[in-house]
Structure 1
Amino acid sequence: MQVLKFGGTSVANAAAINQVIDIVATAARHDTVVVVLSALGGITDALIEAGQLAEAGNEAYQDRLRHIEQRHLTAVQELIPVATRSAALSQIKQRCNELEAICDSVFALGELSARTLDRLMSFGELMSSQLVTERLRSLGIAHAWQDSRQLIRTNSRFGFAEVDFDTTNQQIHDFLAATPAPIYLVPGFIAADASGTTTTLGRGGSDYSGAIYAAALRARRLEIWTDVSGMMTADPRLVRHARPIPHISYQEAMELSHFGAKVLYPPTIQPVMHQGIPLWIKNTFAPADHGTLVEVAPPQNHDVVRGISSISNLTMLNLEGSGMIGIPGFSKRLFGALAGERVNVILITQSSSEHSISVAVGAADAARAKTAVDGEFAHEIDMRRLEPLRLETGLAIVALVGESMKNHPGISGRLFGALGHNGVNIRAIAQGSSEKNISTVIQAADVKKAINVLHEAFFEVEYKQVNVFVVGVGNVGRKLLEQLRQQQHYLLDKLQLQLRVVGLANSRQFVLDPNGLDLTTWPEELARGEAFRLDQLVEQIHALNLRNSVFVDVTASAEVAGCYAALLAKSVAVVACNKVACSSAYSTYARLKGLAREFNANFLFETNVGAGLPVIGTLNDLLRSGDVVQRIEAVLSGTLNFVFNHYDGRRPFAEVVRQAQDEGYTEPDPRLDLSGTDVARKILILAREAGVALEMTDIQNTSFLPASCLEGDVAAFYEQLAAHESHFRQLYDEATAAGKKLRFVARYAGGQAAVGLQAVGPDHDLYTLKGKDNVVLFYTNRYPEQPLVIKGAGAGADVTASGVFADMMRAARV
């Protein structure tokens, strides 16, 4: 004997019903089968709506009834041959006439009692099961149909009746003994009390009916046929890579179903769980799929966590007050007040000090719960021993479920770390004594991100998804996007990183696509984007709330740098090629570093100093390992080094500077380089990273440019360079005559920093510097005489883009 239950989507139309009959006929070749049927998909809701409209005096209930009747009549016409159709049509018409009479009475009285609503809802299962029985009859398949109201006995708690199992089991046995058949067809969801009045079994009632029949008959197994291939590791509507769970224990299934898994409802499992009857969840539309087998002792798998589930639309009830400490009975009174209002408690947590207790309930119950609890504790509230019940709305629960969690340390740590790194705040935590469940209360707005983060952490060992927003698509930005495009497959194959650029912006437009932009056609997509407004971009980044988000600033914009704080505070990592933030007021720099620590978000800016050179990273490694920086000497401008390595007096100085700009070595405004401002920013950043609170005004900048060169615009700058060619030639000639070379040097020592042009001889470490190279010399306690040297190309779009790329990888792989 086996019991097959089919849900509403499985009998939604004639084609689906024919699929059901194929499954039933196949099963009946090997065993006696009891088939439990739900109403046609959507019919129960339509019946409830019709009743509510009638109660409200709205004649639109008649339209709902006509829709219900037409759906069933259409199914009859598609399922039953014309020659034998009349009996089926007559039955449907009779049921619909009864239904109309009930609704007319509700309309006349203006009252829809729970008893009447149960009667109304029963018509869905009655009509669907009669449709299937008529189809079986037309195919000549032997079977027996029986009204479940004649078999399942309940009390008179309408809407969610409690089953009298002794009577029910006897009536089911008696019916089968008196009516031998290979197939038994019964409507789910409905039952009757001792007086024969129709009752219903509540949410998931048809599944519960299947379990009742299976338990009564000691069935070999219960199969729940639905429109998905079993229970999933997470809700597939939220997690693209959710996968079916082939085997699961009753306890795990109970936990997952309690916390929102829609395939099963908790009461369904109880009757079969008590008797150890396997429960198999199968897909009506993919019957060959394995589905999920719920059993006493499922085989071990490699996943410590079996599944992730969630419930939204929750409210947290917080009862607090010093009057609770050491006084027994508060919890009893709290739960008694909630029980009196039939408020279901989903999660409980209490502080160890006994000063507060918090429970999560459905949002729809929150107002009634507050009235009941405040009434129960009115005296204590008046005496100020307790605060009035405080409600927190807009919450959800995300739960990890798995039998094996109790044997594996560190599961909670991975959970909290994954959520914390993505800025998901945990409001409350509960873990059962069995350690099969770790439940976290979070903001409902964070549910999708939280479930994806946890699914990635516990199931998707293949790769980690990183979502990147790039602002700035000039020379460096374009090179960065090209490097990302070239490396996407490598990152996925070798590093298990699925790096997706989900946002792009320039000074005119921005475009966002949460599924990832095509890096071969991004210019066209950006051209079709929205008009750029930084506040709107930041707002939409927050609204998307994507996991593992990285914001990459490849601009020189103070406005863009100004948004870092808002991003870091939402745990969005920031990678800055832009030097403005880190070289602005020390308070701004310190605040950003503090926000990064507070919200567990990376704030990385390696390219601020040495383009692609690992200057800041090396400095941080020295400090983290306990070393102390005594002195820094550096050539930090690839532009200036290029200029002074190429200027020999044979070509005008202005021409060499323009060449540097044309080849992409200068800042967008070359005056920042030649004035020493850019180098001053870089040594300032290094000094700050070394732990010194310097301001830009503390940096001594000895300029080699005549003052007139810094007046006017860029065009005027080049005119003045040309006009002062003799000045630059003199600098060169004097250095050459002394056997030296010109270098624009940055120095830090003893808490002070300076930048300026120097002539260095062959014995100096900076003398041999070529082309556009940068060099940094760290003199530390460990490197007091022979410095730690970092040297290489310090300018150019390619190397700068590669430095940004490297920071992105650091942000992504934490």
Structure 2
Amino acid sequence: MKVLKFGGSSVASPENISRIKNILSSYNDKIILVVSAFGGVTDELLKAGDLAADQDNSYKSTFQEIENRHLDTIKKLIPITNQSRVLSKVKSELNVLETLLEGAFFIGEITPKLSDKIVSFGELLSSYIISEFFVSEGLDCSYKDSRELIKTHKIGGKNTVNFKETNSNCSNYFKNAKAKIIVCPGFIASSANEDITTLGRGGSDYTAAIYAAAVDADILEIWTDVSGMYTANPKMVKQAKAIPHISYEEAMELSHFGAKVLYPPTIQPVLAKGISINIKNTFQPEEPGTLITKSKNEKGKTVRGISHIGNMALLSLEGPGMVGIPGISKRFFEVLSQADISVVLITQASSEHSICVGISADDVEKSVEVVNEAFAYEMERGRIKPVHPEENLAIVALVGDNMKSHQGLSGKMFSTLGKNNVNIRVIAQGASERNISCVINEKDVKKGLNALHEEFFEENIKQLNLFVMGVGNVGAKFLNQIKLQNKYLKKNLKLKLRVIGISNSRNMYFDEKGIDLNSWSDQLATGEKANKESFIKKVNEMNYRNSIFVDNTASHEIAETYSAFLSNSISVVTCNKIACSSEYGNYAHLKSLARTYNAPFLFETNVGAGLPIIDTLKNLIASGDKILKIQAVLSGSLNFVFNNFNDTTTFHDIVKQAQEEGYTEPDPKIDLSGIDVMRKILILARESGHVLEIEDIKNKPFLPKESLETNNNEDFFKSLIKYEDDFQKMFGDAKKNNSKLKYVAKFENGEASVGLEQIPKGHDFYNLEESDNIVLFYTERYPNLPMIIKGAGAGADVTASGIFADIIRIGNF
């Protein structure tokens, strides 16, 4: 004999009930079929009862919805020739329900006994309708009311199953039942004096387990809307996977810590009998689901699942008067128990100075009241502090049989949460060492679950969640590079890059599942109006693990937002030089935030586009070397200009070409004024450990004052034509000296300068071609022959690749 239970989602519609009939057709065994109320009906019954007790007439419309739903289901499932009898029976039961609700309305209250009666109609009606449908379809089926089989009695004020009487009733009835399929309502039972009682929310699972244990069933199958117990809640963790095989103890831990697919008491009746439980999916019956047995988990896996309980609060009892005083803990837990408050988690300081418990947030007000009353004497004398709860919390737990004595799991768990700025309020570990639990802020649950799942279950594939500001020339190249490289990264570097948000100056667009990089521009066009504050708010609200903000702009306003991201443990990657070349205090503050919140702040492209200049400098310093001198050509745009400018061209035409080919900023003055190079050498000086401001850098401009003071590009280019003779003279002087013009940045002895210089033959800068950059690092280890870094220093592709490289660095941290 097999016991099958179908939950509310499985019987939520006539179509779903038809699925159950198809599933049953594949069984040859005798079946006890336990069903829940139609999906959502239990909540509607409770709502109707509450409205009636509040003497709110709208309970009638709620009742009408319940009635219509059941009658409509009959009409859709059962042939017209058989409907009359079934409709009559169901209508009769609904009349009783209506009378009960009217009674609650007239007296203006609802007792626990009356509530049980009202809510029992969900399972009573669904099971009767389903059994009649099976009969009409020709199945060998009968109906049995669970109230006649499952008996309860009061223990501690609660309805508890009387297993001796229940087992006897079930054994006698099912042994002699003739039908192949016996349909029974879940959730409901009756007391010794025949009053209707219930087994608690989720009690249909419990009903099925009671039957399975009573008849020594071959297996208990729980059919629901997911394919078993998952490694984490699949609604929060998209990468969660069904667990093929799990032990009773692991399943109990997971169900206790919020795995709603299984009602926690369900396992208890079948555990002693060694009856396996299989969690199956009504909508994907071919899936194997999760098998729950006595055996330990396979392949020695440590963590089997990650679960959580939301809507939690912490209640702390603390004070100097607790130290060494026997009975304090007993009184604390006793007063909570007497108030019918369930304690989910307990932790106590070894100093005995405090006891902290986790309770449902719904019980906070009552808990504070009863505890403060119980310890009023000690509180008046200052021995114990008044209780102040902490709310908006959740418990996250790692579960697994093989976690016992396995070194490093706790450290791995807490380190993973810490890296993602998830603050841990309380830690607890069961004596069985089968779970490690911690209390965190409820807003961090999704991020915490995903981070832990990635760490323990995702084969070391790390997902980076990107928020990209600026999708112009560089930004577009960057997004295309991600699209082309994602498969390579996943296969070879175990990294997955997902772009969740993008923005330009007009629109911004977000997609939590990841923006399609084949059509991102179309999606952005449909987005909401761009707003810096809204963008920051949205990123922080999403609260994703491994989040990275990518700035591809040259905007002062965007550079000012970095602290808002770093202080929320969101890494920042930028090609925007403004932040790192701003006041030293701001630069130092951003670096400090990055360290404090473990959020990398990378800006390699600030100096040499895709060249590893800053990274090399960091490595030199980290290894104990000291920078003595830096000489560099750091402007790919200026190098392009002076490599192509000669006596057969005009300076105006070459600068225009550089702008059109993307070598210069949209405003070429930024490059030609030297400010861009000043920012770069300033950043290198600061990264070398020196405190320097932009004003400290000597700049020898080569542009006429009139050109520098123009207000727009049109006037600027006109001024270049006007001073063409001056530019030709500069070129001619260098040619006479057998030299080339290069715009050079220098740093030595704490001083920096930039300016146009004549570079003679034989110098490392002389043969620098096109837009290449070059940096010479003279250090204590390289005092005479410098370390040289050379390569393309301008262009959207190489800048995008530099940003990409910084993101890979973060992924490998």
Aligned match of 1:93 in 91, 94, 107? 91
Cα distance in 1 between the residues matched to 2:661 and 2:360: 63
The Cα of 1:250 is off from its aligned counterpart by: 0.7
Deviations 1:162-214 (A, max 9, x none): 11222222232233456555443332211122222111111211111111122
Deviations 1:241-281 (A, max 9, x none): 32221111111111111111111111111111122211111
Cα distance in 1 between the residues matched to 2:136 and 2:772: 87
Q: Which residue of 2 aligns with 1:60?
A: 58
The alignment's C-alpha RMSD in Å is 2.4
Q: Which residue of 1 aligns with 2:746?
A: 747
CA distance 1:673–1:165, shift in 2 (3 Å): same
Q: Secondary structure at the match of 1:473?
A: coil
Q: Secondary structure at the match of 2:582?
A: coil
The Cα of 1:105 is off from its aligned counterpart by: 1.7
Report the more deviating stretch, 703-712 or 635-644: 703-712
The Cα of 1:299 is off from its aligned counterpart by: 4.7
Aligned match of 1:150 in 148, 152, 159? 148
Which residue type is aligned with residue 5 of structure 1? K
CA distance 1:42–1:507, shift in 2 (3 Å): closer
Cα distance in 2 between the residues matched to 1:558 and 1:247: 56
CA distance 1:136–1:471, shift in 2 (3 Å): closer
Report the more deviating stretch, 484-493 or 257-266: 484-493
Aligned match of 1:283 in 260, 281, 285? 281
Cα distance in 2 between the residues matched to 1:663 and 1:103: 78
The Cα of 1:460 is off from its aligned counterpart by: 2.3
Q: Which residue of 2 aligns with 1:186?
A: 184
CA distance 1:180–1:357, shift in 2 (3 Å): same
Q: Which residue of 2 aligns with 1:760?
A: 759
Question: In the alignment, is the contact (CA less than 8 A) between 1:260 and 1:311 conserved in 2?
Answer: yes
Q: Which residue of 2 aligns with 1:770?
A: 769
Q: Which residue of 1 aligns with 2:6?
A: 6
**What is the correspondence of 1:98-137 to structure 2 with a 5 Å cutoff?**
98-137=96-135
The Cα of 1:604 is off from its aligned counterpart by: 0.6
Which residue type is aligned with residue 508 of structure 2? F
CA distance 1:389–1:719, shift in 2 (3 Å): same
- TM-score normalised by structure 2 residue count: 0.95
Q: Which residue of 1 aligns with 2:229?
A: 231
The Cα of 1:84 is off from its aligned counterpart by: 4.2
**What is the correspondence of 1:453-468 to structure 2 with a 5 Å cutoff?**
453-461=451-459, 463-468=461-466
Report the more deviating stretch, 425-434 or 132-141: 132-141
Aligned length, in residue pairs: 812
Which residue type is aligned with residue 240 of structure 1? K
Which residue type is aligned with residue 792 of structure 1? G
Cα distance in 2 between the residues matched to 1:94 and 1:509: 60
Deviations 1:664-690 (A, max 9, x none): 222232222222221111111011111
Report the more deviating stretch, 278-287 or 415-424: 415-424
Question: In the alignment, is the contact (CA less than 8 A) between 2:297 and 2:401 conserved in 1?
Answer: no
Deviations 1:132-165 (A, max 9, x none): 3333444555455332222222124799511122
Gaps of 5+ in 1: none
Cα distance in 2 between the residues matched to 1:689 and 1:591: 14
Q: Which residue of 1 aligns with 2:610?
A: 612
Deviations 1:46-66 (A, max 9, x none): 222222222121233233333
Cα distance in 2 between the residues matched to 1:178 and 1:526: 68
Determine what percentage of the aligned residue pairs are the same residue: 51
Q: Which residue of 2 aligns with 1:312?
A: 310
The Cα of 1:394 is off from its aligned counterpart by: 1.4
The Cα of 1:560 is off from its aligned counterpart by: 0.3
Question: In the alignment, is the contact (CA less than 8 A) between 2:397 and 2:435 conserved in 1?
Answer: yes
The Cα of 1:222 is off from its aligned counterpart by: 1.4
Q: Which residue of 1 aligns with 2:558?
A: 560
Q: Which residue of 2 aligns with 1:395?
A: 393
**What is the correspondence of 1:243-392 to structure 2 with a 5 Å cutoff?**
243-301=241-299, 303-392=301-390
Question: In the alignment, is the contact (CA less than 8 A) between 2:636 and 2:794 conserved in 1?
Answer: yes
Q: Which residue of 2 aligns with 1:813?
A: 812
Question: In the alignment, is the contact (CA less than 8 A) between 2:296 and 2:401 conserved in 1?
Answer: no
Which residue type is aligned with residue 758 of structure 2? A
The Cα of 1:22 is off from its aligned counterpart by: 4.4
Which residue type is aligned with residue 107 of structure 1? F
CA distance 1:86–1:787, shift in 2 (3 Å): same
User: 2:410 matched to 1:424?
Assistant: no
Q: Which residue of 1 aligns with 2:658?
A: 660
Q: Which residue of 1 aligns with 2:789?
A: 790
Deviations 1:391-429 (A, max 9, x none): 222111222222233364333333333333333222222
**What is the correspondence of 1:572-721 to structure 2 with a 5 Å cutoff?**
572-713=570-711, 714-721=713-720
**What is the correspondence of 1:422-501 to structure 2 with a 5 Å cutoff?**
422-461=420-459, 463-501=461-499
Cα distance in 1 between the residues matched to 2:634 and 2:476: 24
The Cα of 1:37 is off from its aligned counterpart by: 2.3
Question: In the alignment, is the contact (CA less than 8 A) between 1:585 and 1:695 conserved in 2?
Answer: yes
User: 2:56 matched to 1:20?
Assistant: no
- TM-score normalised by structure 1 residue count: 0.94
CA distance 1:501–1:138, shift in 2 (3 Å): closer
Q: Which residue of 2 aligns with 1:780?
A: 779
Cα distance in 2 between the residues matched to 1:465 and 1:131: 48
Deviations 1:34-80 (A, max 9, x none): 22222222222222222222212123323333333333333333444
Q: Secondary structure at the match of 1:162?
A: strand
CA distance 1:696–1:321, shift in 2 (3 Å): farther
Cα distance in 2 between the residues matched to 1:486 and 1:507: 26
Cα distance in 2 between the residues matched to 1:219 and 1:112: 39
Which residue type is aligned with residue 782 of structure 1? R
Q: Which residue of 1 aligns with 2:163?
A: 165
Q: Secondary structure at the match of 2:467?
A: strand
Cα distance in 2 between the residues matched to 1:223 and 1:655: 79
Cα distance in 2 between the residues matched to 1:215 and 1:60: 43
Deviations 1:282-332 (A, max 9, x none): 223333221111100055147532122222111122333333333333322
Report the more deviating stretch, 551-560 or 385-394: 385-394
Cα distance in 2 between the residues matched to 1:683 and 1:743: 15
The Cα of 1:785 is off from its aligned counterpart by: 1.5
Question: In the alignment, is the contact (CA less than 8 A) between 1:118 and 1:159 conserved in 2?
Answer: no
Report the more deviating stretch, 370-379 or 124-133: 124-133
CA distance 1:185–1:526, shift in 2 (3 Å): closer
Q: Which residue of 2 aligns with 1:547?
A: 545
CA distance 1:697–1:352, shift in 2 (3 Å): farther
Question: In the alignment, is the contact (CA less than 8 A) between 1:400 and 1:439 conserved in 2?
Answer: yes
Cα distance in 2 between the residues matched to 1:82 and 1:677: 86
Question: In the alignment, is the contact (CA less than 8 A) between 2:252 and 2:267 conserved in 1?
Answer: yes
Question: In the alignment, is the contact (CA less than 8 A) between 2:575 and 2:606 conserved in 1?
Answer: yes
Cα distance in 1 between the residues matched to 2:543 and 2:101: 46
Cα distance in 1 between the residues matched to 2:16 and 2:703: 83
Cα distance in 2 between the residues matched to 1:726 and 1:698: 32
Cα distance in 2 between the residues matched to 1:320 and 1:374: 12
Report the more deviating stretch, 553-562 or 323-332: 323-332
Which residue type is aligned with residue 795 of structure 1? A
Question: In the alignment, is the contact (CA less than 8 A) between 1:229 and 1:281 conserved in 2?
Answer: yes
Q: Secondary structure at the match of 1:807?
A: helix
CA distance 1:519–1:109, shift in 2 (3 Å): same
Cα distance in 2 between the residues matched to 1:217 and 1:100: 36
Which residue type is aligned with residue 762 of structure 1? K
Q: Which residue of 1 aligns with 2:202?
A: 204
The Cα of 1:739 is off from its aligned counterpart by: 2.9
Q: Secondary structure at the match of 2:272?
A: helix
CA distance 1:80–1:533, shift in 2 (3 Å): closer
Question: In the alignment, is the contact (CA less than 8 A) between 1:631 and 1:749 conserved in 2?
Answer: yes
Cα distance in 2 between the residues matched to 1:475 and 1:147: 71
